[in-house]
Homo-oligomer: A and B are copies of this chain.
Amino acid sequence: MTRLLRRYLPILDWGRSYDRTAFSNDMIAAVIVTIMLIPQSLAYALLAGLPPEAGIYASIAPIILYAVFGTSRALAVGPVAVVSLLTAAAIGEIADQGTMGYVTAALTLAFLSGAFLLLLGIFRLGFLANFLSHPVIAGFITASGILIAASQLKHILGIQAGGHTLVELVHSLLVHLPDTNLVTLLIGASATAFLFWVRKGLKPLLIGFGLSKKGAEIAQKAGPVAAVVVTTLAVWVFGLDKVGVSIVGEVPQALPPLTLPSLSPDLVGVLIVPAILISVIGFVESISVAQTLAAKKRQKIDPDQELIGLGAANLGAAFTGGYPVTGGFSRSVVNYDAGAETPAAGAFTAVGLAIAAVALTPLIYFLPKATLAATIIVAVLSLVDFGILRKTWGYSKGDFVAVAATILLTLGFGVEAGVSAGVIISILLHLHKTAQPHVAEVGLVPGTQHFRNISRHIVMTDPTLVTLRVDESLYFVNARFLEDLVLERIANCPEIRNVVLMCSAVNAVDFSALESLEALNERLTELGIGLHLSEVKGPVTDRLRKSHFLDQLNGRVFLSQYDAWAALSGDATRARAAE
């Protein structure tokens, strides 16, 4: 019982050894992360199409629930860019921004996503996330970064525009370009330029002034706060909201409210697929961050327990006015760099944000949306990396196709289409590769007991004996391939008396392949040719023993290929080296 409790509640582990040093380290990290999270949370809420406070609420309860259930000591859970974009894409179809329906749909999406993650965790299905291959993830992140940046340009220009694909976004931006508000553009462009400079140029400058490297890095993360303060003051002092600069406006000055997601079958039906996508993508992002950070301190992440932690965090978001959340890269890295030792740092961050929600919201009344858009653009453009195209092109054309298709389809048809297509394409390419496996005809390397490909090496062969090494598991997709190949190989060679299948690389034989082997055995028996197997692995032999194949086999099963050669290559003098 205690063991079970400790598995599902990692807090029982680290909570017992919590001391004053850990407390003060966690507190310092929490203060730094809180300052960074305020503009970030507001900005991602804007990206998701939600009121700004939703971003802050989504960072409070989820962060505490993850601290209780999660296994990573440094992960910071809350709104992230890609999930915010996916949320906007999913809800944009069914409700208009600014309506209660939109907010409720976001809660429902968080609820469904949380429930799905919890289920995956309880049934220990974390491995499903592996179906997203690295190239698909890289392609998806790059394409989403571009889409997100494009979607924020309207705030920089101060115009109305929309769309879920790059074409729609660009078209909509061009149509509304004449409405550009020049003051907004000035604020947006300056903020963007400033933030890019902070990212690239501030750290060397501060280090040059004698600041420590760590201090310079933390100052760099506070760049968005400076941009927020300066532009807010500018709007307030010069009354820029009166000349058309869009501002955040009134934000409720309150703790996160208690909210209820809607479980109407219609809404659930529409949102279930996006919720699954958001869960899986969020989980993949979160687990990579958690594992990267844990590896640095030799800590261990349990993927199935992570599902439970993220599930709980999303359910928390659903009931406290938030929207789907996950472990974010930038906030987690800041948390880690600032010295967070335990998930308690997250809990303190939540307290900090709750104080901000109650006390600071009036201060952001004049915050221009253009500034928030600038922080988003600068953050996501760092995710855009076309290098993956070059790398996969050099390594494997199949992986290249998966990346390129994911990027093009995400840009051209939106995030959901892109990532789904990426997964399906990688699976089909993998199956295609195994559908026509590499099969080498092998001969004996003279003077050894080793067998090698006759077309790559000088080896001994016997014209009455054909040995084929099958470099793939045998299963339905390639079942008939081997049968056809063997029949073709023997078709015009009446001298062949024996065929050996060397199975050192055959890791499984499924029922379709078994039937195909049975058919091959039958055909070869009719032709008076012996069919033998060699180097069959333990698990495969165990499996084959469950059928009658080994009894019906007209030849023998040899432990090693050399045994097969010794028994079957009747006439040593007939052996010859291949040219």
Interface residues of A (CB under 8 A from B): 127, 130-136, 295, 300, 391-392, 394-396, 398-399, 426-427, 430-438, 450, 453, 456, 471-473, 475-481, 491, 504-508, 510-512, 514-516, 523, 537-539, 543, 546-547, 560
Contact = CB atoms under 8 A, between A and B. Distances in A.
A262 B515 CA distance: 42
B435 A127 contact: yes
B478 A511 contact: no
Nearest to A132: B476
Contact of A476 (B133, B436, B471, B477): B133
A127 B436 contact: yes
21 contacts: A127-B432, A127-B481, A131-B431, A132-B476, A133-B510, A133-B511, A134-B476, A136-B476, A391-B547, A394-B547, A395-B543, A395-B547, A396-B546, A399-B510, A430-B475, A430-B476, A430-B477, A437-B507, A456-B538, A472-B507, A504-B504
A434 B431 CA distance: 12
A383 B392 CA distance: 48
A285 to B, nearest CB: 14
A433 B430 CA distance: 14
Nearest to A136: B476
Contact of A396 (B132, B450, B456, B543): B543
Q: Which 5 A-B pairs have the closest CB atoms?
A: A133-B476, A399-B511, A134-B512, A471-B507, A133-B512
Nearest to A476: B133
A546 B507 contact: no
Given A476-B130, A546-B394, A538 B399 contact: no
A505 B504 contact: yes
Given A134-B476, A427-B431, A396 B510 contact: yes
B505 A507 contact: yes
Given A399-B512, A505-B506, 11 more contacts: A127-B432, A130-B480, A131-B431, A131-B476, A135-B512, A392-B511, A396-B510, A437-B507, A450-B560, A453-B538, A472-B507
Contact of A514 (B395, B427, B547): B395
Contacts of A437: 507
B523 A295 contact: yes
Contacts of A508: 433
A546 B511 contact: no
B134 A515 contact: yes
A399 to B, nearest CB: 4
